[in-house]
Structure 1
């Protein structure tokens, strides 16, 4: 018998230590609900589990991304719904103005509403935004919705420019201009003081009618007007006079609202300030190189060009589609039909994108569910099975403790040999 080395006690100790380690792991799994709490628990399983976890979290975020995309699309489509209503009303007014039961004054009042509606259409296009991003001003080109958990799993969406000018319903640029009545040399006043109404169009010819409806001057280009009887002329230089009124004062100065080809200005009121063109809120929308004839936006695109320099402080009006005469109103109906079709096409496209995103979300949800289940089978603990294991380890721990106590008693048997 040996007492210096109690081999039985050492063996019991080692077995008890292993049991305690196993019990500790079991308690850790039961308290966390995870089968793998550290790389040592299952190195390969940990790597697979973390890769799957990255995918499931990515799929969950992709679903939120798609929901945000739907919200953006709904915001844009909701604004276009109102744009549709505006265009329908403008078309209704164009049809009304196309009826010759209306006088020039009647059509002038109709034009006022058309101008206001065009401005509102542009305002909607300029201000509709989602998360501070403009949606309908033509800047939404090939934006990407990340609708997958991995690289390149996205979809592109573009929204066309839905402002008035892009839809073709922003009218001419109009500004007031003064020109002198020039005598042809016979020293006879052919065009006297008074207000004259502009009638006709550029295609068929323009007339300047007096209060009795008699043509006192004609023009083929809206710039140079020649007296019907006599040799007096009026020459406007900033732009064409195609509608409205030409007023002549006692000094022989003619004043009129002139129209300039609109290259990109939206409906509204603008003011020339130095070499800048300001909107109603004082924002710079275009600038000139100093000649005060061509104004371009910050991107360098020409918005309006005058045949002669405008002056600092001049007011420039941009109305809606022209309905001031029967001919122009008739043309406006077709223009508005095209605009309505453009908005319809855009709304249809956005609706299709929204439906696609709905299906995307459903697919992502299914993929996340299945992948989560697969990851769970690797990393999550089977609670019932682990409870059985813990009970086993607890019993072994108790037995090991008892056996270690017995082993510690064995050396005491030597005392009996000493008598």
Structure 2
């Protein structure tokens, strides 16, 4: 018998330490609910679990991304619903104006509503936003990230749905000065006064009529008006095809409302300051510039319109809605508005298809996240019933080892019997 080394006690102590460690681990797993609390618990399982967690959280965020995408689409589509309503009203007005029971004055009033509706098309297109991003002015071309990994995305673009893109605006009109040429006559045949410009579809000419409705001059292009039966003629740098022409001071001053091709401006009133070279809209926002007071470009350098001659003073430019001021124009406008309605319908259908697709995407992402969560749980989470069984076993073993350690410590006491 030896007393310097109690091998039985050492063995019992080692087993007690091991069992206490196992009890502590079981308590940690039971209290945290996790089978893997540190890499030492299962190194490979930890790596797999963390990879799955990245996928699960990515899928959950992709669901949110898709939901935000649907919200953006719904915002754009809701605005286009009102665009459709405006176009339907414009078509109604065009059909009404195409009927010759209307007088010139009647059509002028109809044209006023068309002009306001065209301005609203531009306003809707310029102000419809989602999270400060404009949706209907043709600049939105976004990517919705609808997956957990790189390049799992969907590209969405929305076409320009404003009045100009839909063909619902007219040319650029402004007041300009022309010249009266008396030809070989010493007398002025086209007298001073105010004249009305109107298009005659029968002769295919623009006519200059006095207050009595008498035609005093005609033009094929709106730039040069030749007097009826005399040598007088009026020349403008741009086409004067609507509005009025005023002659005063024995022909020294001739003014008219000219129209030039509109290449990008929405309906509304614009002012140009020759000193600053800036073109501003009714809200005072700079929408264009000019270096020569003749050609006007937007802030990206695209040409908006070009005049026949440079303006020499501050000028107001007006852009109305699609022309329904005559029977011929109103009749043609019906087809143009039908085309615009079709464009908006196509765009709304496209957005609706995107929305339906994203709804299916959300369902798929949710299912994938659920299945991955189940797989990750099997790796990372504690089986509470099984672990409780292990805890009970380890707890009993620890108590048994403690009892045996006490017994082992009593063994050396037998040596005293030999020493008596």
Map Cα deviations across residues 369-407 of structure 1 (whole Å, 9 max, x no partner).
111111111111111111111111111111111111111
Secondary structure, aligned partner of 1:166: coil
How far has the Cα of 1:5 moved from its partner?
A: 0.9
- 2:289 corresponds in structure 1 to 287
How far has the Cα of 1:251 moved from its partner?
A: 4.3
- 1:245 corresponds in structure 2 to 244
How far has the Cα of 1:255 moved from its partner?
A: 2.1
Distance 1:401 1:133, change over 3 A: same
How far has the Cα of 1:312 moved from its partner?
A: 4.1
How far has the Cα of 1:182 moved from its partner?
A: 2.5
How far has the Cα of 1:185 moved from its partner?
A: 2.8
Unaligned stretches of 5+ residues in structure 2: none
Map Cα deviations across residues 323-346 of structure 1 (whole Å, 9 max, x no partner).
111111111111111101000000
* Contact preservation (8 Å) 2:195, 2:246: yes
* Contact preservation (8 Å) 2:191, 2:250: no
How far has the Cα of 1:248 moved from its partner?
A: 2.3
How far has the Cα of 1:201 moved from its partner?
A: 6.1
Equivalents in 2 of 1:52, 1:305: separation in Å?
Answer: 62
* Contact preservation (8 Å) 2:188, 2:250: no
- 2:344 corresponds in structure 1 to 343
Unaligned stretches of 5+ residues in structure 1: none
Q: What count of residue pairs does the alignment treat as equivalent?
A: 416
Establish whether residue 52 from structure 1 lines up as the match of residue 52 from structure 2.
yes
- 1:278 corresponds in structure 2 to 280
- 2:309 corresponds in structure 1 to 308
Map Cα deviations across residues 160-213 of structure 1 (whole Å, 9 max, x no partner).
111111111111101111223332231222222322221116991111112222
Equivalents in 2 of 1:148, 1:155: separation in Å?
Answer: 9
How far has the Cα of 1:154 moved from its partner?
A: 0.9
Equivalents in 1 of 2:191, 2:403: separation in Å?
Answer: 129
- 1:297 corresponds in structure 2 to 298
Establish whether residue 64 from structure 1 lines up as the match of residue 64 from structure 2.
yes
- 1:397 corresponds in structure 2 to 398
Equivalents in 2 of 1:311, 1:51: separation in Å?
Answer: 71
Farther-moved stretch of structure 1 (341-350 vs 275-284): 275-284
With structure 2 as the length reference, what TM-score do the two structures score?
Answer: 0.96
How far has the Cα of 1:298 moved from its partner?
A: 2.0
- 1:173 corresponds in structure 2 to 172
Secondary structure, aligned partner of 2:304: strand
- Taking the TM superposition and a 5 Å limit, the aligned residue runs for 1:217-256 are 217-237=217-237, 239-252=238-251, 253-256=253-256
Farther-moved stretch of structure 1 (174-183 vs 7-16): 174-183
Secondary structure, aligned partner of 2:212: coil
- 1:204 corresponds in structure 2 to 204
Secondary structure, aligned partner of 2:164: helix
* Contact preservation (8 Å) 1:190, 1:229: no
Distance 1:267 1:311, change over 3 A: farther
With structure 1 as the length reference, what TM-score do the two structures score?
Answer: 0.96
Equivalents in 2 of 1:312, 1:283: separation in Å?
Answer: 20
Farther-moved stretch of structure 1 (180-189 vs 157-166): 180-189
- 1:162 corresponds in structure 2 to 161
Map Cα deviations across residues 250-284 of structure 1 (whole Å, 9 max, x no partner).
44222222111111111111111231111112211
Q: CA RMSD in A?
A: 1.4
Equivalents in 1 of 2:312, 2:95: separation in Å?
Answer: 37
